Amino acid sequence: MLGTVLVGTLILTAILGLPQFLVKGGIKYALGWLLIGAIFNFIFLWIYVYFALPAMTGPLGGYGFLWLPILINVFAAGAMTMFKSEDYRSDEDDSRNHVAAFLSMGSALLVLVIIWVVISFSSWKQDSRKLAFSNVVPATPVTEIMGDGTTKVRDASIPGSDEKHLPIVTDGNALNRAGGSLTGTLGSNYSWGKQVVQSINGHLYRVSLMEFKDFWAWKRNPTKTTPQFIMIDAENPLVESAPTPYTIKYFTGAYFGNDVLRYLYTHGYSSYLLVDPTIEVSDDLKVYETVGLGKYVMGWSGIEIQAMAMVDVTTGAVDVCQISNCPAWIDRVLPDDATDTYVDWYGLYNDAGWWNLGKVNTLMGADDKAVPIYNGEHVAWQYIMTSRNMKDNSGVGLILYDARERVGTYYTFNSPFPVGGQVRSTFENNKTLKQSSTTVDQMILVNIFGENTWVATMVTPAANGTQYQYTAFARANKTTVSDDVQFDKDPKIALRNYEMWLATHRDTSEADPTQESVTVILEGYVASVGTTTVQGNTYHVFTMNDMDAKPVTYTDDNGAEQTRYFVGLYSPTQTIELPLTASGHHVLVTYLDTNLSAEVQIQAFEDLDVPPQ
């Protein structure tokens, strides 16, 4: 800051004081403007640093931010020069003053141009490195051995998703539900901050800190602390959530020295770019604001996070961890706007190179923003990619960007399918959902039961955020229509509905040819039996024991044995005996085994204990 004050003072003195010294021959004028310049720059730069918190990183060793103080000094001095004409003894003196002033201004502006050229060239020459720095890598191809002993290599499918950990609750849902807890004096003094999705003890929550409603609420508070934070279940919108009492003093958006960014800046971290202050709750339910300590590596773009600062929101104690050694409860070290940039770079440069003015063979995100997804350990960002040159807005691949490990993985779809607005229309035009006036608040793409599947959160508007109504599932392919959408208010029932629907609607038209299915004829005994109704269709569901009285099972993705459920719709030609089946009956079942999910569709059924019709 002292260096910047010196630079600004010299500029102001050169433009205002030097011409007067040359014209009048008095040193007091130059010294006067030197003193005025020092006072002006000290006040101006103190305000600038206090509010802007400029990081000493980036072009010119971090001093690239000097362009703004220099520019302000130049134009302030130039404007003041125009009002000094009356101080000169003749028009000639006045003219000489203006010439000297304009020369000084020109020199200062030349310095600004040089700074701009250096910064721009520094950034431009790094463009060819952007693809590597984005750190998005193609998923490793899968080699499979076929039944005849040959091998086939295929693109890796998007990883299977844990259907128990789908982030159904959206920002709008969480905002609406949290707002209901702000009653009475709480509502007049506090509001809820940004909702952050994170994994706590293996479960997804949307977490928010209570903040002061305005400056006057902060001023009235004698302790300058807020009293609560809230954890809203992000997996089940039907679970009630209540705020947790907690003393919160240091957080993003607090006033003066309690703002977590200003607090870090004034406590020895001014040489870092302070990135993405995020509330994080540890597995033992201690609350922190985590802030990435970064450096620019390509002009004023390309953020490299070198460490993480963990600020205790109650005491202000700061712990710093290197990226490779941070606690497991930290979900991310990169903000979504940084990963947005990296995904853009990958889409622009992966297949087309960095010099491609027409943007031919380039990709872009199909949606305006990334959506959070659980990758089995913590939260990652999901980007559906589409070609910039495809007019049908079809998805060609998916990037899962792990914001903690700072690596993205690109999965290519075996065949393009509709994304974005086309999928939203499929959900919203479902007859029942349309009658209830619901709209899509969020869509994520997951792989469950062996199928790429869209999961939509259906909502209606609310005074504060959005009101949750339904969770809806639809298979992600070209043939899906609105009547195929399976939904329910309870996400678990909606998931079951979809699983039942899949059992009788397996689509083999776009199946991966290396994923072979086998027709199985199984003889055994019914262990348990029941029915379930899904959107007007009655499904008969039963489990079986084989002829050796062992339960019929399948192996899930984790290698564990799980119960196999047999699902069938009544058919006069193939499954006429289904409604008469009971526990203990001797049956013969034909089904298609893909080993992808717990439910399999019955193709033919015979109950040997039921007399022939």
Question: In this structure, is residue 118 part of a structural domain?
Answer: yes
* Cα–Cα distance list, 70 to 25, 105, 115, 197, 261 (Å): 27, 10, 11, 42, 25
Helices and strands counted in the chain (H then E): 14, 28
In tens, the pLDDT along 380-419 reads 888 988 887 655 567 888 889 988 888 899 988 877 788 8
Question: Is pLDDT above 50 for 496?
Answer: yes
In tens, the pLDDT along 238-279 reads 998 889 999 999 998 889 989 999 999 889 888 888 888 889
Share of the chain above pLDDT 70, in %: 71
pLDDT at position 316 = 95
| Pair 107, 27 in one domain | yes
Distance between CA atoms of residues 114 and 112, nearest Å: 5
Do β-strands 565-569 and 599-607 pair in parallel, antiparallel, or remain unpaired?
parallel
- Average per-residue pLDDT for the chain: 79
Q: How far is C-alpha 575 from the chain's CA centre?
A: 47
Distance between CA atoms of residues 366 and 387, nearest Å: 9
Share of the chain above pLDDT 90, in %: 27
Question: In this structure, is residue 25 part of a structural domain?
Answer: yes
| Pair 430, 498 in one domain | yes
pLDDT at position 125 = 53
Q: Which two tokens stand for residue 533?
A: 């109704």
User: What sign does the dihedral 601-607-610-612 (CA atoms) show?
Assistant: positive
pLDDT at position 147 = 55
Which residue from 452, 596, 605, 589 is spatially nearest to 517, judged by alpha carbons?
596
Question: Is pLDDT above 80 for 46?
Answer: no
| Pair 496, 457 in one domain | yes
Q: Which two tokens stand for residue 237?
A: 């919108």
Question: In this structure, is residue 198 part of a structural domain?
Answer: no
Question: In this structure, is residue 221 part of a structural domain?
Answer: no
Taking the CA atoms of residue 458, residue 460, residue 461 and residue 466 in that order, the dihedral angle to the nearest 10 degrees is: -40
CB 207 within 8 A of CB 231: yes
Q: What does residue 71 show for φ and ψ, rounded to 5 degrees?
A: -60, -45
Strand partners, 143: 153
- Of 331, 360, 379, the residue that ends a domain is 331
Work out the pLDDT band at 511, boundaries 50, 70, 90. Answer: very low
- Of 419, 452, 472, the residue that ends a domain is 419
pLDDT at position 190 = 92
Question: In this structure, is residue 540 part of a structural domain?
Answer: yes
| Pair 99, 63 in one domain | yes
Structural domain harbouring 367? 126-156+334-419
114: enclosing H helix or E strand: helix 91-124
* DSSP, res 17: I
In tens, the pLDDT along 174-196 reads 999 888 778 778 888 999 988 88
| Pair 437, 488 in one domain | yes
CB 196 within 8 A of CB 277: no
Strand partners, 307: 293, 322
Work out the pLDDT band at 426, boundaries 50, 70, 90. Answer: very high
Higher pLDDT: 142 or 274? It is: 274
Q: At what angle do helices 27-52 and 67-81 cross, to 10 degrees?
A: 140
pLDDT at position 487 = 93
Which residue from 594, 448, 602 is spatially nearest to 514, judged by alpha carbons?
594
| Pair 351, 408 in one domain | yes
pLDDT at position 206 = 94
Work out the pLDDT band at 169, boundaries 50, 70, 90. Answer: very high
What residue type is assigned to position 21 of the chain?
A: F
In tens, the pLDDT along 49-59 reads 777 777 666 55
> Which of 194-198, 213-217, 447-451 is the least confident region?
447-451
pLDDT at position 85 = 47
Question: Is pLDDT above 50 for 514?
Answer: no
| Pair 147, 57 in one domain | no
| Pair 413, 341 in one domain | yes
Question: Is pLDDT above 80 for 575?
Answer: no
Which residue from 84, 1, 8, 75 is spatially nearest to 40, judged by alpha carbons?
8
Question: Is pLDDT above 50 for 171?
Answer: yes
Question: In this structure, is residue 177 part of a structural domain?
Answer: no
- Of 389, 419, 449, the residue that ends a domain is 419
Question: Is pLDDT above 80 for 303?
Answer: no
In tens, the pLDDT along 73-113 reads 666 666 565 555 445 445 555 565 566 556 556 666 676 67
Question: Tokens 């849902």 map to which residue?
Answer: 173
Question: Tokens 């693809």 map to which residue?
Answer: 131
Question: In this structure, is residue 509 part of a structural domain?
Answer: no
SS3 category, 245: strand
pLDDT at position 512 = 44
Average pLDDT over residues 287-292: 93
What's the total number of domains in the chain?
5
| Pair 116, 7 in one domain | yes
| Pair 305, 353 in one domain | no
| Pair 28, 93 in one domain | yes
Classify 360 in phi/psi space as left (phi over 0), alpha (psi -120 to 50) or beta.
Answer: beta
| Pair 531, 478 in one domain | no
Tell me, what CATH number does 562's domain have?
2.40.50.140
Cβ partners under 8 Å of residue 89, min gap 6? none
In tens, the pLDDT along 15-42 reads 554 555 444 545 666 566 667 767 777 7
Which residues in 77-95 are b (16+ Cβ under 10 Å) and which e?
bbeebeebeeebeeeebbe
Higher pLDDT: 323 or 574? It is: 323
Q: What does residue 133 show for φ and ψ, rounded to 5 degrees?
A: -70, -25
Classify 7 in phi/psi space as left (phi over 0), alpha (psi -120 to 50) or beta.
Answer: alpha
344: enclosing H helix or E strand: helix 336-349
In tens, the pLDDT along 348-384 reads 777 765 555 545 567 777 776 788 888 777 788 889 8
Question: In this structure, is residue 312 part of a structural domain?
Answer: yes
CB 303 within 8 A of CB 334: yes
In tens, the pLDDT along 305-335 reads 889 999 999 999 999 998 888 898 888 877 7
* DSSP, res 58: S
In terms of Cβ atoms closer than 10 Å to its own Cβ (0-12, 13-18, 19+), residue 465 is buried
